[in-house]
Chains A and B, each alone.
Chain A
Amino acid sequence: MRAAFIQTLVELATQDERILLLTADLGYLAIEPFADRFPDRFFNVGVAEDNMLGVATGLADSGFIPFVYSIVPFAVLRPFEFIRNGPIMHRLPVRIVGVGGGFEYGHNGLTHFGVEDVGVMRTQPGIRVVAPADHEQTRTALRRTWDVAGPVYYRIGKDDRTVVTGLAGQFELDEVQTVRPGRDVVIAAMGSVAPEAVAAAEQLREQGVDAEVIVVASIHPAPEQSLLSVLRRFPVCVTVEAHYLSGGLGSLVAEVIAEASVPCRLARCAVRELPIGVTGSQRFMHERSGLDRAAIVRRTLEALKTGGKA
């Protein structure tokens, strides 16, 4: 996704001189296409994320569209108050690009995981959160949102090969994307774990369960109407996200279900325990956290058994 993001950014920057790219000294073998093409519009600000957000605020106020780039926790958590008091409070078009949502930096451990970023950002009115599920959707999402008013947080991944079957690069603001239609249950996924949801739906098919799969990439503000039109058709919704239980997609769906009184049982596949004391690949961490296809299948069948009659 990050290569797709940077390539698309280069294309946009060719058309619009307001686009700048700032990095806090990260993005090796990713950001070079922009840095090489636009050396005067690229700034490595050093390992200093707070300052990067402050500088971006000053730049955006003067008419630029600065993209600031780092790994998720350094892009979001470290400078969070600068984001709040800068681009959010001043309603400025700063674009925060966090690479590595979820467990993409698997072996690097918790310091590099992005497992609460969506929850943190969702607390703030006045910022959009976009979390594409694959590199094709990343391209479309960036093209649709790069010049919207106010700040945007892009939660992207490193994988530029895997695609979510059926997604075909679709993205619209405030909309969810249906990647596989179904009748019995809906599985909603966020981010690069989405292929596991699709794979789970295929396995459920073999067991006689017809699961719909949707991708929620325009995640904040909540795509309420679009989500409701799906949720109203199903007795059970299973959410899948490489994110803590609180604040992410599962929380969002719970809020939408509760406020609209939709008779839909919710089951959440999310990170429930502090991921410390063990390292491993993204796949390993997904399995350990109950986010792999087998775990999603189990959770879906359980939910259908206990709550499907709602």
Chain B
Amino acid sequence: MNPNELTVQSLRQIILDQSFRARVGHIGSALCVADLIHALYHRVLRVSAPTDRDRDRFILAKGHAALALYGVFYQKGWVTREQLNSYCTDGSLLGVHPERGLPGVDFATGSLGQGLSIGAGAALSARLQKSARRVYVLMSDAECNEGACWEAAMFAAHQRLSNLTAIVDVNGQQALGYTRDVMDLQPMADRWRAFGWSVAEIDGHDMTQIVAAVKPGSDRVPRVVLARTTFGKGVSYMQNQIKWHYWPMSDDEYKQAVREIGGQS
């Protein structure tokens, strides 16, 4: 597989290569949302250039998966191979969490629970400015532990921000355990519905389902897409394992991971 390809497999290879080289974690989180981010940037978001004022906006509320974002920016030609290879080196703009100075990053994130409010503001702006641009916010399921998410959910529903789409990466785990054990989020769909949102539930690794679920529809309220995902998707020993929230790969683990996604080490 050529890492310069625009496929989601090549995006996973970038995630593995860069996190292995930099010896940093959050690999499982980035792999988990690779399909969602790939689908959004290659098939959904209307962004002619990162500087386009009327582009659709994307907020990676779960900022710790930024490596997946950097990978797709590389695929889009917004960051160079040299920039990508600077990931988590001293002086790089590409850190663990996305910073706004990097072309393509609409909002800096890293602190959970803030993205949806900012997205609601961006969506309200589009409405006030009579722009057709849309706003997409990719959140984590455990992020919904944060009360501010529900403040934003109430606000967006009250304002009927139908140009706002939240995508919740429902991988069922968080830093120190499984969500059902730490802070049970179920019934997730009922909760969002009760807050006035339209709810779609999909397989977060199925491109067709992702694209269909996030495409603008006839909703008159904001929409949330609950995307069931597998943490560490594609690498057997990472899948659904808590430790891969933070753990870096050893040489052997890297080789196995690349082999499993069908790439080259």
Contact = CB atoms under 8 A, between A and B. Distances in A.
B118 interface: yes
Nearest to A57: B118
B148 A50 contact: yes
Interface string A272-299: 0000000000000000000000000000
A30 interface: no
Interface string B89-124: 000000000001000001110110110111111111
Contacts of B121: 54-62
B125 A54 contact: no
A219 to B, nearest CB: 27
Given A81-B111, A90-B100, A62 B125 contact: yes
Q: How large is the interface on A (under 10, 10 to 19, 20 to 34, 35 or more residues)?
A: 20 to 34
A27 interface: no
Interface stretch (B32-40, B73-81, B150-158, B252-260): B150-158
Contacts of B129: 62-63
A90 to B, nearest CB: 6
A89 B114 CA distance: 13
Contact of B122 (A45, A46, A61, A89): A61
Contact of B125 (A53, A61, A81, A89): A61
B126 interface: yes
B128 interface: yes
A108 interface: no
Nearest to B122: A58
Contacts of B158: 46
Contact of A62 (B113, B116, B126): B126
Q: How large is the interface on B (under 10, 10 to 19, 20 to 34, 35 or more residues)?
A: 20 to 34
Given A58-B122, A61-B125, A50 B108 contact: no
Contacts of A62: 121-122, 125-126, 129
Contacts of B111: 81, 85
The B contact surface, by secondary structure, is helix
Nearest to A81: B111
B120 A51 contact: yes
A32 B106 CA distance: 34
Contacts, number: 92
The A contact surface, by secondary structure, is helix
Contacts of A54: 114, 116-118, 120-121, 148, 152
A90 B121 CA distance: 14
B148 A55 contact: no
Nearest to A59: B121
Nearest to A51: B151
B64 to A, nearest CB: 14
A88 B154 CA distance: 25
Given A54-B117, A54-B148, A89-B100, A59 B125 contact: yes
Interface in A43-74: 43, 45-46, 48, 50-51, 53-64
Interface string B198-213: 0000000000000000
Contact of B155 (A51, A64, A82): A51
30 contacts: A40-B128, A46-B151, A46-B154, A48-B151, A48-B154, A50-B113, A50-B114, A51-B117, A51-B120, A51-B148, A54-B118, A54-B148, A55-B120, A55-B155, A56-B121, A57-B107, A58-B107, A58-B118, A58-B121, A58-B122, A59-B122, A59-B125, A61-B106, A63-B125, A64-B128, A81-B111, A82-B117, A82-B148, A86-B118, A89-B108
Interface of A: 40, 43, 45-46, 48, 50-51, 53-64, 81-82, 85-86, 89-90
